[in-house]
Amino acid sequence: MATNLPAPTEQDEDTDLILRQVLADVLGLSAERISELHADSGLFGDLPELDSMAVAGLLTELEDRLDIIIDDEDVDGEMLETFGGLLAFLAVKRSNG
Protein backbone atom coordinates (compact mmCIF):
# COMPACT_ATOMS: atom_id res chain seq x y z
CA MET A 1 0.00 0.00 0.00
CA ALA A 2 1.33 3.38 -0.99
CA THR A 3 0.52 4.92 2.39
CA ASN A 4 2.95 2.53 4.10
CA LEU A 5 5.85 3.48 1.87
CA PRO A 6 8.39 5.84 3.41
CA ALA A 7 8.14 9.32 1.88
CA PRO A 8 11.69 9.37 0.43
CA THR A 9 10.92 6.30 -1.70
CA GLU A 10 7.93 7.97 -3.29
CA GLN A 11 9.97 11.07 -3.92
CA ASP A 12 12.78 8.99 -5.44
CA GLU A 13 10.35 7.32 -7.82
CA ASP A 14 9.00 10.71 -8.78
CA THR A 15 12.55 12.01 -9.37
CA ASP A 16 13.27 8.99 -11.59
CA LEU A 17 10.13 9.70 -13.62
CA ILE A 18 10.89 13.40 -14.03
CA LEU A 19 14.51 12.73 -15.03
CA ARG A 20 13.31 10.26 -17.67
CA GLN A 21 10.78 12.80 -18.98
CA VAL A 22 13.38 15.57 -19.23
CA LEU A 23 15.90 13.24 -20.93
CA ALA A 24 13.17 12.19 -23.38
CA ASP A 25 12.57 15.87 -24.20
CA VAL A 26 16.29 16.64 -24.54
CA LEU A 27 17.27 13.53 -26.50
CA GLY A 28 14.04 13.21 -28.47
CA LEU A 29 13.61 9.58 -27.39
CA SER A 30 10.37 7.61 -27.30
CA ALA A 31 8.82 6.54 -23.99
CA GLU A 32 9.90 2.99 -24.84
CA ARG A 33 13.55 3.89 -25.37
CA ILE A 34 13.62 6.09 -22.30
CA SER A 35 12.15 3.35 -20.11
CA GLU A 36 15.14 1.18 -21.08
CA LEU A 37 17.61 3.54 -19.37
CA HIS A 38 19.17 1.90 -16.33
CA ALA A 39 21.61 3.00 -13.65
CA ASP A 40 24.70 2.25 -15.80
CA SER A 41 23.38 3.84 -19.00
CA GLY A 42 25.97 6.36 -20.18
CA LEU A 43 24.99 10.03 -20.64
CA PHE A 44 27.59 12.81 -21.02
CA GLY A 45 30.56 11.32 -22.88
CA ASP A 46 28.51 8.49 -24.41
CA LEU A 47 25.98 10.69 -26.17
CA PRO A 48 27.79 13.11 -28.51
CA GLU A 49 24.66 15.25 -28.92
CA LEU A 50 24.84 16.16 -25.22
CA ASP A 51 27.10 19.17 -25.73
CA SER A 52 27.52 21.99 -23.21
CA MET A 53 24.46 23.87 -24.50
CA ALA A 54 22.26 20.77 -24.26
CA VAL A 55 23.55 20.01 -20.77
CA ALA A 56 22.86 23.61 -19.71
CA GLY A 57 19.29 23.31 -20.98
CA LEU A 58 18.91 19.91 -19.29
CA LEU A 59 20.08 21.22 -15.91
CA THR A 60 17.91 24.34 -16.08
CA GLU A 61 14.86 22.22 -16.93
CA LEU A 62 15.62 19.81 -14.06
CA GLU A 63 15.91 22.78 -11.68
CA ASP A 64 12.52 24.07 -12.81
CA ARG A 65 10.72 20.73 -12.65
CA LEU A 66 12.29 19.49 -9.39
CA ASP A 67 12.40 22.89 -7.68
CA ILE A 68 16.09 22.60 -6.83
CA ILE A 69 19.18 24.73 -7.48
CA ILE A 70 22.19 23.04 -9.09
CA ASP A 71 25.43 24.89 -8.30
CA ASP A 72 28.22 25.26 -10.86
CA GLU A 73 30.63 23.29 -8.69
CA ASP A 74 28.22 20.32 -8.60
CA VAL A 75 28.35 19.98 -12.38
CA ASP A 76 31.16 17.67 -13.46
CA GLY A 77 31.80 14.63 -15.60
CA GLU A 78 31.06 12.22 -12.78
CA MET A 79 27.64 13.67 -11.94
CA LEU A 80 26.64 13.52 -15.60
CA GLU A 81 28.37 10.27 -16.53
CA THR A 82 25.50 7.82 -16.04
CA PHE A 83 21.76 7.85 -15.58
CA GLY A 84 22.15 6.32 -12.10
CA GLY A 85 24.75 8.92 -11.06
CA LEU A 86 22.60 11.85 -12.15
CA LEU A 87 19.52 10.33 -10.50
CA ALA A 88 21.37 9.83 -7.21
CA PHE A 89 22.62 13.43 -7.31
CA LEU A 90 19.11 14.77 -7.93
CA ALA A 91 17.61 12.59 -5.18
CA VAL A 92 20.08 14.00 -2.64
CA LYS A 93 19.43 17.57 -3.82
CA ARG A 94 15.69 17.08 -3.47
CA SER A 95 15.83 15.53 -0.01
CA ASN A 96 18.10 18.36 1.17
CA GLY A 97 15.83 20.96 -0.35
Partner 1 sequence: MLTGLWPSPVGGEELLLSFDEGRQRRLVVIPALFDEGNKLRHFTVEVMRRLHTTGIDSFLPDLPGTNESLAPLVEQTVTGWRQYLSAAVDHSRATHMLAIRAGAVIDPGHLPSVHYAAASGASQLRTLARAQAIAEKEAGAPVSREDLLVQAEAQGATLAGHDLGAQMVRELLEAEAPIPTSSVAQGDLGSGGLWLRAEPAHDPGQADRLAAMVLERLA
Q: How far is the CB of 8 from partner 1 (least distance, A)?
A: 27
44 φ, ψ (degrees, to nearest 5): -60, 130
Of 44 and 87, CB closest to partner 1: 44
- CA 56 centroid distance within chain: 13
Angle at 19 between CA 6 and CA 48, to 5 degrees: 150
Which residues, numbered 50-79, are part of the site for partner 1 (CB under 8 A)? 50-61, 72, 75-76
Binding mask 4-43 for partner 1 (x = CB under 8 A): -----------------xx-xxxxx---------------
